[in-house]
Amino acid sequence: MTTEELQALVRRSHDQHFTHTELRERLRDLSSQVSQLIHHRDATHLAQEAGDTGWAVLQLCNELKLDFATAVQGAVRRLDATAKGRRVALIGTSANPITNAHLTMALEILALTDVHEVWFYLVGEHPWGKKLMPAEHRLEMVRRAIARYPKLRACDFEMVHGPRIYEKTNETAEVLRDFFAPAFPEYQFSWVMGSDVAQTFEKWKGAEWMAANMRMWIIHRLGYDWDQASSILRDSKHVYLRENVVTSNISSSLVRERGRGYEHEKLIALVPDVVWDYLVEHRLLDPEVLR
């Protein structure tokens, strides 16, 4: 069914069941429908509420004599225009699971640099073959953990396109160069890593491309001093955030080790509560979950 046919169907439905609606009343009805989405009970109820909300939006377009497809295309154009030249810092992570340290790093980058957004770039599979929780669970935990932060995003590009990408490479730098960057030409990407990772960064396949084409933000981690002057990232465009930066030694492996017994008090300082709840609900700290 085309959008024109769908809009006409809604018009007939409205005329059959309702009388003329004032604009203020229509907007109030639409606001009520959106609020119902937040309070859905389950997937079936959510689908029902989404249908009701879509009906209300299409009827609003009918009453304002707007073509729905044209209105949506306008929104896409505005978003694309806003995105051009947008500076985005990428934090590459398996998020196995996401921790408070991940959030701290992202929020510090927003606080101390000129980037517009920080994306958690989630790997589909670990480049060194480490066992990971199922991708859909790792992604959902990130989404829940960042829900309250509008400038943080979960990037599932590698998860979605992994089967095609991993036939050629699973090296992070090569994936960024050959697949990710070409898919988002309108963004200016930079890369975030800790000083521990920076110590061996030049051994990455494709590291030279990253050093030449992406800005690097290196966050100091206690116990891992890094000599920028003698590294592949000696160029002044790469920034070592060493002083007055909040950092953490929390790791995903520490979460998995401490969480084996599902004792909340052992993880309360390591992960957001929404992540703890999800780990418990899906028993993701059970040894057999890691594949």
Chain centre distance of CA 9: 36
User: Which superfamily, per CATH, for 85-281?
Assistant: HUPs (3.40.50.620)
Q: Residue 25: what pLDDT?
A: 85
Q: Residue 27: what pLDDT?
A: 86
Q: Is 258 exposed, middle or buried (0-12, 13-18, 19+ CB in 10 A)?
A: middle
User: Could you tell me the two tokens for 52?
Assistant: 């009701």
Q: Residue 81: what pLDDT?
A: 63
How many other CB atoms sit within 10 Å of the CB of residue 64?
10
Whole-number Å distance between alpha carbons of 164 and 158: 9
Q: Residue 289: what pLDDT?
A: 79
What predicted TM-score, i.e. pTM, was given to this entire model? 0.72
Sequence-separated (6 or more) residues with CB below 8 Å from residue 273: none
Count of residues in the chain: 291
- pLDDT tens-digit profile, the chain (291 residues): 888 888 999 899 888 888 888 888 888 888 888 888 877 788 888 889 888 888 888 888 888 899 999 888 888 877 776 666 789 999 999 999 999 999 999 999 999 999 999 999 999 876 556 788 999 999 999 999 999 999 999 999 999 998 899 999 989 999 999 999 999 988 999 999 999 999 999 999 999 999 999 999 999 998 899 999 999 999 999 999 999 899 998 999 999 999 999 999 999 999 999 999 999 999 999 988 765
- SS3 labels along the chain: CCHHHHHHHHHHHHHHHCCCCCHHHHHHHHHHHHHHHHCCCCHHHHHHHHHHHHHHHHHHHHHHCCCHHHHHHHHHHHHHHHHCCEEEEEEEECCCCCCHHHHHHHHHHHHHCCCCEEEEEECCCCCCCCCCCCHHHHHHHHHHHCCCCCCEEEECHHHHHHHHHCCCCCCHHHHHHHHHHHHCCCEEEEEEEEHHHHCCHHHCCCHHHHHHHCEEEEECECCECCCHHHCCCCCCCCEEECCCCCCCCCCHHHHHHHHHHCCHHHHCCCCCHHHHHHHHHCCCCCHHHCC
Whole-number Å distance between alpha carbons of 254 and 268: 12
Say whether domain 3-78 belongs to CATH 1.10.287.
yes
Greatest alpha-carbon pair distance for the chain in Å reads 75
CA torsion angle 227 228 230 234 (round to 10): 180
Whole-number Å distance between alpha carbons of 111 and 30: 36
Q: Residue 73: what pLDDT?
A: 87
Whole-number Å distance between alpha carbons of 68 and 7: 8
- Kindly report each contact of residues 256-265 with a partner whose C-beta sits within 8 Å and lies 24 or more positions away, as own/partner: 256/96, 256/97, 256/285, 256/290, 259/285, 260/285, 260/287
The closest alpha carbon to 192, from 117, 92, 278, belongs to 92
- Per domain, the residue ranges of the chain are 3-78, 85-281
